């Protein structure tokens, strides 16, 4: 009998064990978990959470959080709610699991954080800035900031605006914002776009005026480079 048949016939507990063995069998390559279907990924993540996030599964969890956040993050967020509502909630588990959500650094993470903020804003709103910090590893964080405003959660928006104001102090971040604006508007933003831009409009007036020329110049330079390719 081949592996697929064994997997389909095994009870849930044995199937989860099979998944762990399979991941090791694939040359101990954490990327092997990406070949699993969504149901098996959820089963694997549930098992890892039930074990309290053992260290030997950290590589697999990292791989899944980065590449399958749409499957993994909702499962983690649901488990956090379950633990919080239990008779003896584990602070360690909630802290670890919530940091894993923030590690994804994407819109899925922000939407999960929004649900956690609804439970305890003081405890979880800090995760917004951590998610934006983490997004630098995988994507343009200002594109994610725009998504944050679209979620429609005031606390998410406040944290995203605060993060943006602090982040734009460096040349690198100004360039990234310029690129995000170019992507958002499909052109170098003019006066109209700048005045209504969700990030720019939330900045202090003086800061907004000081940044306009440099950020739009970076957008223009990027567009010129693209046109020359």
pLDDT in tens, 157-211: 999 999 999 999 999 999 999 999 999 999 999 999 999 999 999 999 999 999 9
State CA 208 to chain mean position distance: 27
Instruction: Give the separation between CA 158 and CA 163, rounded to whole angstroms.
Output: 9
Span 58-105, pLDDT tens digits: 999 999 999 999 999 999 999 999 999 999 999 999 999 999 999 999
Looking at residue 26, its pLDDT comes to 38
Instruction: Give the predicted TM-score (pTM) of the model.
Output: 0.83
Window from 16-25, 97-106, 140-149 with minimum mean pLDDT? 16-25
DSSP for 35-89?
A: GS-HHHHHHHHHHHHHTT--GGGHHHHHHHHHH-HHHHHHHHHHHHHHHHTSSS-
């Amino acid at each position: 009998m081949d592996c697929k048949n064994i997997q389909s016939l095994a009870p849930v507990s044995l199937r989860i064990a099979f998944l762990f063995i399979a991941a090791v069998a694939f040359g101990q390559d954490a990327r092997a978990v990406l070949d699993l279907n969504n149901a098996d990924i959820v089963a694997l993540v549930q098992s890892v959470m039930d074990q309290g996030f053992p260290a030997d599964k950290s590589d697999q969890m990292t791989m899944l959080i980065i590449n399958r956040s749409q499957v993994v993050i909702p499962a983690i967020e649901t488990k956090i709610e379950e633990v919080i509502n239990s008779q003896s909630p584990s602070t360690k588990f909630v802290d670890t699991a919530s940091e894993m959500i923030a590690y994804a650094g994407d819109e899925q993470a922000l939407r999960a954080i929004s649900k956690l903020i609804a439970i305890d804003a003081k405890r979880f709103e800090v995760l917004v800035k951590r998610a934006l910090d983490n997004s630098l590893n995988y994507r343009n964080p200002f594109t994610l900031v725009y998504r944050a405003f679209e979620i429609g959660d005031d606390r998410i928006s406040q944290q995203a605006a605060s993060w943006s104001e602090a982040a734009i102090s460096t040349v690198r971040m100004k360039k990234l914002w310029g690129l995000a604006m170019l992507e958002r508007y499909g052109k170098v933003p003019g006066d109209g776009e700048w005045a209504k831009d969700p990030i720019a409009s939330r900045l202090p007036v003086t800061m907004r005026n000081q940044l306009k020329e440099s950020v739009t110049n970076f957008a223009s330079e990027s567009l010129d480079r693209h046109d020359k390719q």
